[in-house]
Structure 1
């Protein structure tokens, strides 16, 4: 009798479970750490910066310290779209290059738990499946935490490496 009831119980349990689960968080804030210094700003300010090329609020205060050339590079980087759908992104992240990318990027994100690579993978897959597609902004907006914390020293070190992130990205093809 239990065998006959179990499909029905499962069919009833799934919708009820969906009603009581909380949605996954998405990043609403960006926090930048450089040694002992930390500054945070709302994701909406970063979105506005990308769309209008004008920084506002806390982001404006931070951008005063960034040379104009670097601001232009940042805008280009944030606006860059990658031509990968969710299936292609999943395959790339499962490849040796993708696993290495996740490992390197997880060193840049600051988390209390040890889920850095899993969080990055989830954000990239969710971004790739989003209507706007895979971009740095969609990745940041889909990061599964209220705040995405980035260690700028580690990011700078990673980007300066001989076999850094940009050379890895250049090897990726859809």
Structure 2
């Protein structure tokens, strides 16, 4: 496929964002002999004869201070204001990973395949692309801040990381970054996407025989928090999660004998988007609560489905109509009353105005930006008593 230059830069931008999302599910191997301890000083986008480079130090400085260097300004010039905010938000993602679980994941067929596939987008003169990726992920994940775009780049074992833009369109699609056809109905990404499956496999390995003081089950908004709810907690959030895939997730986790003293279920937005029937949603949510109760918890809390902005709710490729979200939330309240579990809605009130997501708390109309996630995180910490 031939990619226009402007689209090529968009793919470069998307790959940078995907590093903080899809690379966390790539593989670590603690016994791997690391390559020489270089660190990438710059990241280079190569598209035919065209190249554009960004100093890694400029990316970190932008992440921490939002100050833009001349070279970074040239790159940002390809992006809309909305995409610039998404890029800044992606730079804030820093994932704390269970190294032992990911060490086991290296032996799975899915893990080996995704690492091999990702290496194809990186141009190297040698054949050490897979080893270089693995080395960068190991060192980046072990950094004090966790694995993110900057820690990955700073750990990459070469003085530069060269991205072959012509080869990354498939990688961007695998990372669920492409919007797909406007005519295609939205899908449950957990059961239909490669990354959804490997993310669930990671959770299964990480939860084995563990006991947590708090567990969060939710969709992409919850997943965006990472493991930031404090020691002894685990975020089981997955992109695209609906009650259908929540049941699949719980049935996969229960055999691990994971225990959760408190459980928070934040679900419903994708059910509204996918157009699930009222009867099936209520049935699924009740079954999910029953499964969570087998995890030895003392308390279960429900979180209302998240509202979007008006503009996002009018675009069927982005979000559910606001009236449908209202309908789902009414069902959540009914199930909560039947199951005798509380709906913790008060802490989310600052996110909305008249049940519409505030524009300053989102970068795309549907998901929370860094400021919105702070409000959501604080609400969850209050529930957990932290």
TM-score using structure 1 length: 0.76
Q: Which residue of 113, 119, 126 corresponds with 1:106?
A: 119
Change (3 A) 1:79 1:88: farther
When residues 71 and 35 of structure 1 are mapped into structure 2, their CA distance, relative to the original with a 3 A threshold, is: farther
**2:95 alignment partner, one of 67, 77, 82:** 82
The structure with more radius of gyration = 2
1:1-174 aligned within 5 A: 24-160=37-173, 164-166=174-176, 167-171=193-197, 172=199, 173=203, 174=206
Range with greater deviation from structure 2 (102-111 or 47-56)? 47-56
CA distance in 1, matches of 2:118, 2:141: 17
Q: Deviations over 1:23-81 (max 9, x none)?
A: 61011111111222101121111111212234212111111112222222222333222
- Does structure 1 retain, via aligned residues, the 8 Å contact 2:175–2:195? yes
Partner of 1:10: none
How big is the shift at 1:111?
A: 0.5
Whether the 8 Å contact between 2:43 and 2:162 is mirrored in structure 1 is: yes
Distance in 1 between residues matched to 2:43 and 2:103, nearest whole Å: 25
- Contact 2:96–2:141 at 8 Å: present in 1 too? no
**In 2, Cα distance between the equivalents of 1:155 and 1:122?**
21
Shift of 1:123: 0.6
Secondary structure of 2:106's counterpart equals: helix
Secondary structure at 1:94 match in 2: coil
Contact kept, 8 Å, 1:79 with 1:137, in 2: the verdict is no
Greater relative contact order (CA < 8 Å, ≥ 6 in sequence): 1
Q: Relative to structure 1, is the Cα distance of residues 116 and 156 closer, same or farther in structure 2, using a 3 angstrom cutoff? A: same
Aligned residues: 150
CA-based RMSD? 2.1
Uncovered stretches (5+) of structure 1, i.e. residues with no partner: 1-22
Normalising by structure 2, we get a TM-score of: 0.36
SS of the residue 1:148 aligns to: strand
Which one has a larger percent helix, Structure 1 or Structure 2? 1
Q: 3-state DSSP class of the match of 1:33?
A: strand
Q: Output the CA distance in 2 between the equivalents of 1:49 and 1:170.
A: 30
Gaps of 5+ in 2: 1-35, 177-192, 207-386
Summarize the Cα distance change of 1:95–1:78 in structure 2 as closer, same or farther, 3 Å threshold.
farther
